[in-house]
Amino acid sequence: MGTFYDATTNKTWAARKPTKLVGNPLLPTGTNGDTWDREKNGVSLAIEHGGLKKMWVFAYNETASAACTTYQYSNDGITWTKPNLGLISYDGDTNNNIVSLNQIIGIDWDAANNRFVGCACLWGGNTGVFIVASTDGVENWTLLKTLVLQNSGAAADYAEGNAIVILDDGTAIVGAISGHENPGMARQVYTWKSETSNLSGSWGEKTLAIPTNGIGDQCYTIGFHKPGNGLILGSVVRYNQDSGSGQFEYLPRAELWISRDGIAWTLLDDSWFTIGANGTWDDRVIFYFNGMITLGGNDTVYYSGGGENHATFPRDARIGAVETVGGILYETIPTFITPTLTQVGTNSRPSRRGVD
């Protein structure tokens, strides 16, 4: 467990550990056989907006090699409804909750421009880091900006685990996972920051924000959460990979990082929460969680989990939640040294030794 001193507010912060909701998982995988959301690969955003709890999920059907982004809503954050949007055809049928056939893995609400902004890793059949937007988060997602991840090579501009957060001044931070500039393909977190609130305009250079610890302990996904006070929380899932077989020996854990500017990050907890016990629904995989909802006064983060490793298909990942009673962050209390009384002649006065 670590702490973070925020010079902007002159406060020091630490993090509480969450607990998993008793009712997990809250969203099962798709039913009726070969559905568009047979595998739920992660939460693109969970947010309170327009009087509802809303969630976007990056879903996948490995058998059909088909990815999409879906929308669902809830009144209480526990029971979720998948609306029949009728917008996009899947297997000849529009009776679904698909909002895009692109992989929009991270989404946030841009209040200044009254729109949802997303970060996709696959757009129009191309891989990369794509900034996209929609006024309602459902219809008419459009491309704003393409960020350069890697300029050359066989795997140029390949990224996964993307996340985005809109800051109070309207600028944005994007995070992406990539291992293609690192020996052994060990994945790590890169970030970009827009120079203005015009997200179609100029962005700063790519920055290595959170490095890998090698193939045996590399980053897999990044999610952003806004706890208030202008701070950003980053949830990074790390996992193990057997470099001999090339398969993922998951046993992952979620780290919790914190930042003021989205560029420099401090580790708060290297094991914020972990996979479930053997035999539970999330005993092999936890990944992909963005956004945060307050339920009963508690910070609640939704995540994807499953009982299969990365190489097992179908990967029937479900959506569950963890909650932190009293909020994720709390301000630490400085420790003061109490002066001791020292007898000097006939007078007693406090000694300042150990205080200066």
In the DSSP assignment, the letter for residue 24 is -
When divided into structural domains, the chain yields a total of: 1
In this structure, what token pair is assigned to residue 246?
Answer: 């090339």
> What pLDDT is recorded for position 125?
81
Q: pLDDT tens for residues 183-203?
A: 556 788 889 999 999 999 999
The helix or strand, by DSSP H or E, that contains position 304, with its residue range, turns out to be strand 298-306
> What pLDDT is recorded for position 353?
40
Q: How confident is the model at residue 275 (pLDDT cuts 50, 70, 90)?
A: confident
Answer yes or no: is pLDDT of 60 > 80: no
Answer yes or no: is pLDDT of 299 > 90: yes
Residue pair 320/55 in contact by the 8 Å Cβ criterion = no
> What pLDDT is recorded for position 347?
47
Q: Is residue 355 part of a domain?
A: no
Q: Is residue 194 part of a domain?
A: yes
> What pLDDT is recorded for position 247?
46
**Percent of the chain's residues with pLDDT above 70:** 80
Answer yes or no: is pLDDT of 344 > 70: no
In this structure, what token pair is assigned to residue 41?
Answer: 């690969």
> What pLDDT is recorded for position 146?
92
> What pLDDT is recorded for position 177?
83
Residue partners of 96: CB distance under 8 A and separation at least 6? 36, 70, 82, 84, 85, 88, 90
Q: The CATH number of the domain where 142 resides is what?
A: 2.115.10.20
Q: Is residue 356 part of a domain?
A: no
Amino acid identity at 216: G
Q: Where are the beta strands (DSSP E) in 111-241?
A: 115-123, 126-134, 142-147, 160-166, 172-178, 188-193, 207-210, 218-228, 231-241
> What pLDDT is recorded for position 246?
45
Query: For 23, left (φ over 0), alpha (ψ -120 to 50), or beta?
Result: alpha
Highest mean pLDDT among 28-32, 140-144, 179-183: 140-144
Q: What is the mean pLDDT of residues 34-61?
A: 85
Q: Is residue 303 part of a domain?
A: yes
Q: Is residue 339 part of a domain?
A: yes
Q: Is residue 123 part of a domain?
A: yes
Answer yes or no: is pLDDT of 158 > 70: no
> What pLDDT is recorded for position 127?
80
Q: What is the domain extent for residue 85?
A: 4-350
Q: pLDDT tens for residues 66-102?
A: 788 999 999 999 999 999 999 999 888 899 999 999 8
Q: Is residue 338 part of a domain?
A: yes
Q: What is the mean pLDDT of residues 281-285?
A: 80
Q: How many helices (H) and strands (E) does the chain have?
A: 0, 26
3-class DSSP assignment, residue 211: coil
Q: How confident is the model at residue 356 (pLDDT cuts 50, 70, 90)?
A: very low
> What pLDDT is recorded for position 311?
56
**Buried-exposed string 172-203: b where 16+ CB fall within 10 A, e elsewhere:** bbbbbbbbeebeebbbbbbbbbbeeeebeeeb
In this structure, what token pair is assigned to residue 297?
Answer: 């006064």
Distance (Å, whole) CA 318 – CA 20: 14
Of 184, 183, 260, 173, residue with least CA distance to 222: 173
